[in-house]
């Protein structure tokens, strides 16, 4: 890691620190514009968000129904939850417990991992892109690369003592799971399930461990603003409700916490690969005044230097080529120079009509 990137900004203050100070009002920089206020924009409808039982894929008679269910979920929302996915509850709980332990450490124990350089493979910071954010967001995070795990695990935190072991177990399990889900998504696009199989297995995996502390004025702040992930697929584990997704009618829906469930979100690279058949889902993180919320997002795409491009089978006279190729490395360059609240990464990839 570049030493210059690990030098804390003099103005750096974590959201955890602000919570521990017992503030009754949030600092002005955390107040989001009224158009982004979370209250009043939530759908009142009892829309049932899709839940996919992956164990049913093993039943030949039921498999086509599950593929169709995934197709509709991807087409209509870019989102679904998965259950019976094969990752034990204990592995998920251990990962969350160690994440909580990390953020509960004294500041000095975490600051050696501080970095404002988005290209660093391991970094601890706050908000979205603290150096450039015009508005701050009520979030602290730890991000680290994870696939192949042997390349990166030595750079992960050594404190808490069992962080590498427990987060490593979850990381390897979710990497395997995303390979299975990608096969289902490709099949739902009428591609060969093994499409890009080796590239997917050797692809990039970024673990974003997010901490959203209790916030004294949750109606004025956000943990993360509305955005899409850059990834092909993101898999999210959350311990409390707070994630919200936007449907195609621009209505927000709270994503419930299902015991043992995991959240699958399509990102910008899937929109590119599907040539626009599937879209990345816009989502945001809300905060609350009562308890700290943790999420572990595993973001998957091709390897750092590889490009995602529309699948040739999904381009024809009726479906003209609509996207330029893009990769994880391009995205890092993009966010190092742009305010992603104002400028969308996917718009940079679209071919103008």
Which distant-in-sequence residues (6+ apart) come within 8 Å of 84 by Cβ? 53, 54, 55, 56, 260
Q: Check residue 274 and report its DSSP letter.
A: T
pLDDT reading at 8 higher than 60: no
Tokens of 81: 């939850």
**Cβ pair 314, 189 in contact under 8 A:** yes
Q: Please report the beta strands in 41-121, taking only residues with DSSP state E, as ranges in sequence order.
A: 51-53, 79-83
Averaged pLDDT, 223-232: 95
CB burial readout 338-347, b (16+ within 10 A) else e = eebbeebbbe
Most confident of 46-50, 181-185, 325-329: 181-185
Say which range, 129-138, 148-157, 174-183, 312-321, has the weakest mean pLDDT.
129-138
Q: Tell me the pLDDT tens digit for each residue of 66-89.
A: 999 999 999 999 999 999 999 999
* Whole-number pLDDT of residue 338: 74
Look up the pTM and report it. 0.94
């Amino acid at each position: 890691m570049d030493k210059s990137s690990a030098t804390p900004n003099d103005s750096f203050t974590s959201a955890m620190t602000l919570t521990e100070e017992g503030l009754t009002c949030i600092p002005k920089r955390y107040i989001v514009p009224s158009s982004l206020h979370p209250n009043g924009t939530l759908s009142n409808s009892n829309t049932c968000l899709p839940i996919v039982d992956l164990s049913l894929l093993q039943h030949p008679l039921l498999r086509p129904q599950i593929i169709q269910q995934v197709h509709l979920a991807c087409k209509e929302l870019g989102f679904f939850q998965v259950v019976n996915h094969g990752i034990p509850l204990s592995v998920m709980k251990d990962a969350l417990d160690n994440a909580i332990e990390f953020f509960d450490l004294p500041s000095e124990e975490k600051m050696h991992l501080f970095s404002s350089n988005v290209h660093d493979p391991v970094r601890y910071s706050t908000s979205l892109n603290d150096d450039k954010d015009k508005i701050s967001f009520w979030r602290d995070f730890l991000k680290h690369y994870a696939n192949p795990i042997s390349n990166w695990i030595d750079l992960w935190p050594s404190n808490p003592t069992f962080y590498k072991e427990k987060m490593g177990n979850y990381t390897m399990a979710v990497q395997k799971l995303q390979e299975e889900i990608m096969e289902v998504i490709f099949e739902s696009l009428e591609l060969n399930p093994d499409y890009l199989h080796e590239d997917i297995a050797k692809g990039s995996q970024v673990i974003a461990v997010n901490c959203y502390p209790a916030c004294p004025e949750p109606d004025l702040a956000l943990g993360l603003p509305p955005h899409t992930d850059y990834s092909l697929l993101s898999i999210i584990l959350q311990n409390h409700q707070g994630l919200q997704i936007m449907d195609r009618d621009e209505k927000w829906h709270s994503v419930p916490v299902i015991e043992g469930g995991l959240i699958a979100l399509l990102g910008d690279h899937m929109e590119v690969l599907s040539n626009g058949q599937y879209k990345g889902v816009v989502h945001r993180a809300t905060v609350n005044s009562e308890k700290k919320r943790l999420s572990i997002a595993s973001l998957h795409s091709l390897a750092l230097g590889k490009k995602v491009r529309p699948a040739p089978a999904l381009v024809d006279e009726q479906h003209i080529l609509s996207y330029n190729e893009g990769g994880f490395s391009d995205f890092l360059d993009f966010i190092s120079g742009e305010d992603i609240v104002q400028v969308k990464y996917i718009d940079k990839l679209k071919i103008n009509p």
